[in-house]
């Protein structure tokens, strides 16, 4: 099976990033092909990003949707396993997966889907 693993890595690496890496390793050990679709939150500090751009891009990112469309066309994954979409990937990729008929599995590590700070505070 070909699995596309989606994850927006955190600036300060922690348990969620380690969990994603471990899942990828387990998939490979089980004989699956793993395609990584990832971004790094450290990019927000770069010259192309500002905090406002990262915030609005986290709501809907056309660039991420285009990139996912390209990955789906080129790699033809059997399933997409989503971990963290924020702040650079966005839920826009879920729309592309749905339109392409690719099943999506999401491992939810925090409350970010319903709370901007991810802590439900």
pLDDT band at 9 (very low <50, low <70, confident <90, very high): confident
Is the pLDDT at 29 greater than 60? The verdict is: yes
114 occurs within a structural domain: no
Question: E strands, 1-113, where?
Answer: 2-9, 33-40, 79-82, 104-106
Residues 33, 29: Cα–Cα separation, whole Å = 9
89 occurs within a structural domain: yes
What DSSP assignment string belongs to 74-118? HH--SEEEE---TTTT-THHHHHHHHHT--EEE---SSTTT-TTS
CATH code, domain carrying 97: 3.40.50.2000
Domains: count for the chain: 1
Q: What's the domain range around 75?
A: 2-106
* Of the listed ranges 3-7, 26-30, 108-112, the one predicted with least confidence: 108-112
pTM: 0.85
pLDDT digits (tens, 9 = 90+) for 50-94: 555 555 556 788 999 999 999 999 999 999 999 999 888 999 999
């Amino acid at each position: 099976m070909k699995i596309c693993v989606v994850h927006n890595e955190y600036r300060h690496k922690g348990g969620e990033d380690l969990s994603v890496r471990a899942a990828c390793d387990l998939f490979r050990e089980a004989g699956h092909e793993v395609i990584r679709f990832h971004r790094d939150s450290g990019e927000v500090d770069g010259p192309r990003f500002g905090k406002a751009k990262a915030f609005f891009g986290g709501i809907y990112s056309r660039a991420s949707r285009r990139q996912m469309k390209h990955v789906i066309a080129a790699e033809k994954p059997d399933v997409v396993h989503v971990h963290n979409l924020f702040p650079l990937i966005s839920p826009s990729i879920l729309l592309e997966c749905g339109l392409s008929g690719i099943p999506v599995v999401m491992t939810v590590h925090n409350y970010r889907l319903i709370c901007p700070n991810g802590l439900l505070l």
